[in-house]
Amino acid sequence: MAFKYLVDNYQDRVFNTAIGIVQNAEDAQDVAQEVFIQVYRSIHNFKGEAKLSTWLYRIATTRALDLLRSRKSKKRFGFMQRLFGEANEPLHELPDFNHPGIALDRKENAAKLFKAISQLPDNQKTAFTLHKLEDLSYQEISEVMQTSVPAVESLMHRAKQNLRKILEKETD
Amino acid sequence: MNTDKNKKLEEILSSLDGSRRAAVPGFFYTRLKARMEKGLEPVKQSWVLRPAFAFSALVVVLLVNAAVILKGDAAKENTVADTENFQSLAAEYRLNDNNNAILFDINQDK
């Protein structure tokens, strides 16, 4: 019963974080399920030193990044899979991602931004997603990422710089 | 021109501001419970068991086999060719059996 209460309260935060990173609704749902399964199995490890939400965000970002890494390694094996006709999944690039919470008039720009976000390094991607999609403060992000506030500020600064560079290239 | 471009970039960079939180699809808890009951957490498959690796290994083995067989055939052909060469050389220098016999006899006489 307590577990259902926890899931009901945090499922959207976990899903929204995951969808921001993996940029696919089905994968994000998978990640969200894995997060809650991990929480269920290791709730005894939660010491209450951090907020429950912080712990959940940490697991969600880690799991989402793991999925991206496995997607990359699958891509590397793509050639061999195609060669032997063993490919079960499409090898083409994922289509532009449309976040369900973005207003219609911003969808086109948001799709461009998500494409650029997917090219950021993991830590910049995590900080930027948590700040923009979950509206977390730099303090909260530093707790999720187990780093300092100045480090998060630096990550955000570099993320914005990199996004600007990527978008400039794309719009040229 | 540059101002327009900067404006466009700023619009793109701020396109996530004020977005709503994405909600999980319906029956999330039911699906989660079903997955937990079935113990369907994805088992991480060893890379050795991946089809791509298995097929690559199979192809390597087949290629090695083919190479060994082809090399064996080539060696046989070489042996046959060598024998023919020796025979023609022997014929050319009259190193046939009769000549050898004569030479043998001469040696015996001595």
**pLDDT tens across B32-83, in order?**
999 999 875 555 666 667 778 888 889 999 999 998 888 887 776 666 667 7
Residues in chain B: 110
Mean per-residue pLDDT for B8-13? 92
Measure CB to CB from residue B24 to each of A12, A40, A106 and give the nearest one. Answer: A12
| Per-residue pLDDT, A137 | 97
| Per-residue pLDDT, B72 | 80
* Selected residue with higher pLDDT from B101 and A30: A30
Query: Taking CB atoms and an 8 Å limit, are B21 and A110 in contact across chains?
Result: no
Measure CB to CB from residue A81 to each of B5, B24, B52 and give the nearest one. Answer: B52
For residue A71, what is the domain's CATH number?
A: 1.20.140.160
Query: Taking CB atoms and an 8 Å limit, are B32 and A8 in contact across chains?
Result: no
Which of A4-8, A22-26, A79-83, A113-117 bottoms out in mean pLDDT, i.e. has the lowest? A79-83
Mean per-residue pLDDT for B29-33? 94
Query: Taking CB atoms and an 8 Å limit, are B24 and A103 in contact across chains?
Result: no
Closest chain B C-alpha to A65 CA, distance in angstroms: 16
Residues B88, B82: Cα–Cα separation, whole Å: 10
For A109-155, what is the HEC assignment?
A: HHHHHHHHHCCCCHHHHHHHHHHHHCCCCHHHHHHHCCCCHHHHHHH
- Does residue A87 sit in helix, strand or coil? coil
CA-closest candidate to residue A119, choices A167, A171, A75, A83: A167
Please check whether residue A37 touches B, CB under 8 A.
yes
Query: Taking CB atoms and an 8 Å limit, are A109 and B36 in contact across chains?
Result: no
| Per-residue pLDDT, A79 | 63
Rounded to two decimals, the ipTM of the complex is 0.81
Mean per-residue pLDDT for A1-15? 93
Query: Taking CB atoms and an 8 Å limit, are A81 and B23 in contact across chains?
Result: no
User: What residues in B contact A106, CB-CB < 8 Å?
Assistant: 15, 19
Query: Taking CB atoms and an 8 Å limit, are A80 and B56 in contact across chains?
Result: yes
Give the A window 45-84 contacts with B, CB below 8 Å.
77, 80-81, 83-84
| Per-residue pLDDT, A117 | 96
Q: Dihedral angle at the C-alpha atoms of B94, B97, B101, B102, nearest 10 degrees?
A: -20
* Mean pLDDT of all residues belonging to chain A: 89
- A27 phi and psi, to 5 degrees? -65, -40
pLDDT over 50 (residue A81)? yes
* Selected residue with higher pLDDT from A85 and B61: B61
What are the distances in angstroms from CA A91 to CA A96, B56, B61? 15, 19, 27
Query: Taking CB atoms and an 8 Å limit, are A77 and B50 in contact across chains?
Result: yes
What pTM was estimated for this model as a whole? 0.70
Q: In terms of residue numbers, what domain contains A89?
A: 2-171
B92 pLDDT tier (thresholds 50, 70, 90)? confident
* Selected residue with higher pLDDT from A11 and B78: A11
**pLDDT tens across A52-77, in order?**
999 999 999 999 999 999 988 877 77
Percent of chain B with pLDDT over 70: 71
| Per-residue pLDDT, B110 | 46
Residues B79, B84: Cα–Cα separation, whole Å: 9
Q: How many CB atoms lie within 10 A of CB B35?
A: 17
pLDDT over 60 (residue A87)? no
Query: Taking CB atoms and an 8 Å limit, are B12 and A77 in contact across chains?
Result: no
* Mean pLDDT of all residues belonging to chain B: 78
**pLDDT tens across A118-142, in order?**
999 999 999 999 999 999 999 999 9
pLDDT over 70 (residue A165)? yes
Domain count, chain A: 1
Please check whether residue A133 touches B, CB under 8 A.
yes
Percent of chain A with pLDDT over 90: 73
Measure CB to CB from residue A171 to each of B5, B18, B56 and give the nearest one. Answer: B5
Query: Taking CB atoms and an 8 Å limit, are A133 and B32 in contact across chains?
Result: no
User: What residues in A contact B53, CB-CB < 8 Å?
Assistant: 80
Please check whether residue B39 touches A, CB under 8 A.
no
